[in-house]
């Protein structure tokens, strides 16, 4: 179960510790990609982004960077930003703090970034003070749901278009699981908002 748009009350209650949007960015949209890099998907994402002059922030799983260093370097060489998404894609609700922090530190050996996104968006509130010592914790305004195998590509695009506004942080996935729906939605999303005069920079502070 997921909500395409992050709940307003949750954003208000946690905005001192978690970044949900960039409200001052009126004509900018902040694209993010989770769970890569993978050689079958990430280069295709880079190609689409390049066609629209768009930049993005890739929240990378450390073990995928370890296995695919060349693809990771392609992301950096293309001028995109990266963030820490743990080494093993751990669920922060289910993982004890020492193991969780150790996994994040392991990822930091491969991903040099001050940005962190918890996999699944799940993190215990008691863990946040430890992470904020070293990271800005980035959540999202809009999650496209491209990972949802029961959703049609058209539905994923509709989710993204309907809820995105200036300053939104939008989540796609450069993963095998999401590929068909993401590759359908991403270029159409970019075309729609480019035609409306929006630009797509990396996240501030990345």
User: What DSSP designation does 203 have?
Assistant: P
Between CA 142 and CA 178, with CA 90 as vertex, the angle to 5 degrees is 45
Catalytic residue among 80, 85, 103, 173: 173
Contacts of 112 (CB under 8 A, 6+ apart): 82
d(CA 49, CA 43): 10
Q: Coil, strand or helix: which one is 149?
A: coil
Q: Is the peptide bond before 21 cis (omega within 30 degrees of 0)?
A: no
- Residue 138: CB atoms within 10 Å: 24
Mark 187-199 as b/e (b = at least 16 C-beta within 10 Å). Answer: bebbeebbeeebe
35 is known as an active-site residue: no
173 is known as an active-site residue: yes
Contacts of 171 (CB under 8 A, 6+ apart): 32, 33, 34, 140, 142, 143, 144
Catalytic residue among 34, 35, 146, 174: 34
Contacts of 132 (CB under 8 A, 6+ apart): 17
* Residues belonging to the active site: 34, 173
């Amino acid at each position: 179960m997921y909500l395409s748009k992050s709940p307003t009350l949750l954003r208000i209650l946690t905005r001192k510790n978690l970044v949900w949007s960039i409200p001052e960015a009126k004509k900018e949209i902040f694209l993010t990609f989770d769970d890569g890099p993978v050689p079958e998907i990430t280069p295709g994402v880079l190609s689409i982004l390049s066609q629209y002059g768009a930049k993005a922030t890739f929240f990378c799983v450390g073990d995928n960077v370890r296995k695919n260093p060349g693809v990771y370097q392609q992301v950096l060489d293309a001028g995109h930003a990266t963030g820490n998404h743990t080494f093993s894609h751990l669920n922060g609700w289910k993982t004890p703090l020492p193991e969780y922090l150790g996994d994040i530190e392991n990822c930091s050996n491969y991903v040099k970034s001050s940005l962190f996104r918890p996999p699944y968006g799940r993190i215990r509130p008691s863990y946040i003070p430890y992470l904020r010592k070293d990271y800005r914790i980035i959540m999202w305004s809009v999650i496209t749901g491209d990972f949802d195998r029961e959703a049609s590509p058209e539905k994923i695009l509709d989710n993204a278009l309907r809820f995105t506004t200036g300053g939104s942080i939008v989540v796609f996935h450069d993963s095998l699981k999401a590929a068909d729906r993401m590759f359908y939605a991403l270029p159409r999303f970019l075309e729609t908002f480019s035609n409306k005069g929006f630009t797509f920079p990396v996240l501030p502070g990345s």
